[in-house]
Amino acid sequence: MLQMTTPSGRNPIDDNRQGLIGKPVDRVDGRLKVTGKATYAYETQEGGKPAYGFIVEASIAKGAVADIDASAAEAAPGVLLVMTYRNAPAQGAWGPIDAPDRFGRASPQLGSNRVRYYGEAVAFVVAESFEEARSAAKLVRVRYDTEAGDYELDKARAEKPKDVADRKADSSLGDFAGAFAAAPVTIDATYTTPHYIHAQMEPHATLAYWKDDRVIVHCSSQLLGSAKKAVAATLQIPPDKVRIVSPYIGGGFGGKLPVYGDVMLSAMASRQLQRPVKTALTRQQMFHFTTHRSETTQRVRLGATPDGRLTAIAHESWSHSARFDNFYESASSQTRSLYAAPNRLTSHRVERLDLPIADSTRAPGEAVGLLALESAMDELAEKLKIDPIELRIRNEPAMDPEKNIPFSSRQLVKCMQEGAQRFGWSQRNGKPASRIEGRLLIGMGMSAATRGNNLRESQCTVLLDRHGVLTARMAMTDIGTGSYTVLSQIAAEMMGLPIEKVKMELGDSDLPPTPGSGGSFGAASSGSGLFDACNNLREKLARRMGVQVGDALFADGKLTAGDRSETLAVLAGPLGIQADGEIKPGDMAKKFSQQSYGAHFAEVSVDMDTGEIRLRRMLSVFASGRILNLKTATSQATGAMIWGVGSTLFEDAVVDPRYGFFVNHDLAEYHVPAHADIPAIEAHFIEEVDDKTNPLKSKGLGELGICGAGAAVANAVYNASGVRIRDFPLTLDKVLAELDRA
């Protein structure tokens, strides 16, 4: 078992004798996916002929079911079961709200007649076909007793602020109020971001069936261990009576960290009907039935000297949670470590609203927090007449400003400098609205990026068989980010095998536990558990050959020591050889501030007649520890950058304040970037290894690319037009109104 209590020494990943680490290897599961042979949850055929479920959603946001008539639905063709609060089986109570693993909490469905948010399940129809279930669902008649609800963050703040955030979410250093009041130059600005929806390609879906007293659930889940606990707690059965299977996931982005009512309802109906039940959410249902990002209101205050040295920095954030939950958007968190300033204040406050559950979405905290902070830094640079990059360099901290510990590695300045050189930043005119091409105003903007690094406990088992094929088993998931590929590279490099001789078995909760995919900890955590298992296997093989592992060379499918050499297949023997591995975090994260960094650069045009904003090009440079696969890393980074563009220019889930539902609850009206919106876009990586993070010396990357990306676009819009919009997204009406005023 490995534990990160000291920096990681030199190891086979550093040696990289086969050159597999960092290589842009094609996805090992790519052919399966493009030929349709990678089986997703809804495509699974297992356990017998399935019945099909369809969820009836509440059409009010708060109140109770006064009466429900399912008789017409029950008499409809093909219908097998209509489940309501009147006949749903007993389940575990929701929560607990403060559970250590909030994704492992019980989530009862149809447990009472209460309606807590629009779209909550009020009935579940099961029929012989999807079409019959959907048709019958429309026949369920529900009468409600409606209650007034709270649906607007700022209105709730103004009328009856509740201040329910945990005080641990706050930080304070020095005398911010005094320093800000005395600062020669100040910025005091409030930024607002809307509700964001995950919009994964694959809808949430479930196939559930029972084998004796054990439920097998095929679903789309990022965290198999948490899903297992949630199902067990809800159905009130032991965790070992639950198996979660999720080998392929069509996008997660945080929206598949929990499992939802489709899982619980399918499992309950399957037990009652004694046959598999398959349920898929429609795209429209996903907007309310699954989680979303909370809207935020963020106040950023910066105090500086005339030469640009920050003397005071404050970042206060307000977001919402569901009435019955306690999640908050940690939008001020990155401000604690990004820039130096002796006097500091960060806080988070939450209003509980009668909306669906808000939760982690696309880099929770930093993604929206940096929209505000990096816009404010741009405003300060403008006020000081200092280049935005130079302002950031002048406030580069030598130590973590609030933890007062060293950084494990920090190359933010290098990211900014290399990005500026690659992008042609020197051609930027600092005076807004100074570059005009016909009726288009052209401008450039930049922002910094940071995202915390995380390592979690993870286990793995590897087996080398008599054919020299290595199989690695772990309950890791692949949400489209390349887990199968990157883990194959690690195992192949460790054992000196070609990738074709490595097999990954992932996506099954019966396999050795991992933390799953989320929080940018997936590759580092599962990869480190795999690293330890391979290290232990190397030692076993060396002992079988009678040599010291330190003298052994693993390459070309062989173990060589001095003048002795033998194939791994022969050393494995007829029964094969197995080894286990495990990683635990240790205290390196307490001794060193661990972050990934980057710098974004964007050029936009603004049509002075229509207010239309067009991204012309974008370039970002990242420092994220060792890059394990250049191709998958680039894909993750550019995809996240595109999210940043969407967050700034398009995305906005609009709540009807009268009825508490998202008006634009489909992809026709919830706008995300299309191909025409994203022209030339580049991601580059600075060479870096960080021995304080994990034995791979990598850092989390998946979410880094969205952090700050939108602010670069917003800052470019200001440079192009002189229009500063603090209410995201930057839509035409807002641009035109500000252009008219300007």
Residue 37 half-sphere exposure, CB side, CA atoms within 13 Å? 6
Say which DSSP state 62 is in.
Answer: S
- The whole-angstrom distance between residue 199's C-alpha and the CA centroid of its chain comes to 12
Extract the tokens encoding 411: 């190359």
H/E stretch holding 298 reads strand 296-304
- For residues 383 and 303, the answer to whether their CB atoms sit within 8 Å is no
Would you call 579 helix, strand, or coil by DSSP? Answer: strand
Instruction: Tell me what pLDDT residue 164 has.
Output: 61
Which domains occur in the chain, in start order? 2-24+456-584 (3.30.365.10), 388-452+593-741 (3.30.365.10)
Of these residues, 351, 688, 703, 738, which one is catalytic? 703
Instruction: Tell me what pLDDT residue 53 has.
Output: 99
Residue 312 backbone phi and psi in degrees, to 5: -150, 140
Instruction: Tell me what pLDDT residue 505 has.
Output: 98
- For residues 678 and 645, the answer to whether their CB atoms sit within 8 Å is yes
Whole-Å CA distances, 550 to 312, 533, 541, 567: 53, 16, 12, 18
Residue 531 backbone phi and psi in degrees, to 5: -55, -45
Instruction: Tell me what pLDDT residue 160 has.
Output: 67
What are the residue ranges in the chain where pLDDT is below 70? Answer: 160-167
Q: For this structure, is 703 an active site residue?
A: yes
Residue 535 backbone phi and psi in degrees, to 5: -60, -45
Say which DSSP state 676 is in.
Answer: G
Residues 67, 86: Cα–Cα separation, whole Å: 10
The C-alpha torsion from 328 through 321 and 644 to 514, rounded to 10°, is 60
Say which DSSP state 338 is in.
Answer: S
117 Cβ neighbours under 8 A, 6+ residues apart: 58, 61, 62, 288, 322, 323, 354, 355, 356, 357, 660
Whole-Å CA distances, 412 to 261, 328, 369, 598, 624: 43, 28, 18, 6, 10
Cα angle: 168, vertex 170, 171; to 5 degrees: 110
Whole-Å CA distances, 678 to 283, 421, 603, 618, 734: 24, 22, 12, 9, 21
Instruction: Tell me what pLDDT residue 167 has.
Output: 60
Residues 147, 618: Cα–Cα separation, whole Å: 48
Extract the tokens encoding 540: 């076993």
Residues 82, 595: Cα–Cα separation, whole Å: 50
Q: Where are the alpha helices (DSSP H) in 83-188?
A: 130-137, 153-159, 176-182
Q: In what order do the strands lie in the sheet with 185-193?
A: 171-173, 343-353, 310-322, 296-304, 185-193
654 Cβ neighbours under 8 A, 6+ residues apart: 194, 195, 662, 663, 664
Instruction: Tell me what pLDDT residue 742 has.
Output: 78
Residues 33, 91: Cα–Cα separation, whole Å: 37
pTM of the model: 0.97
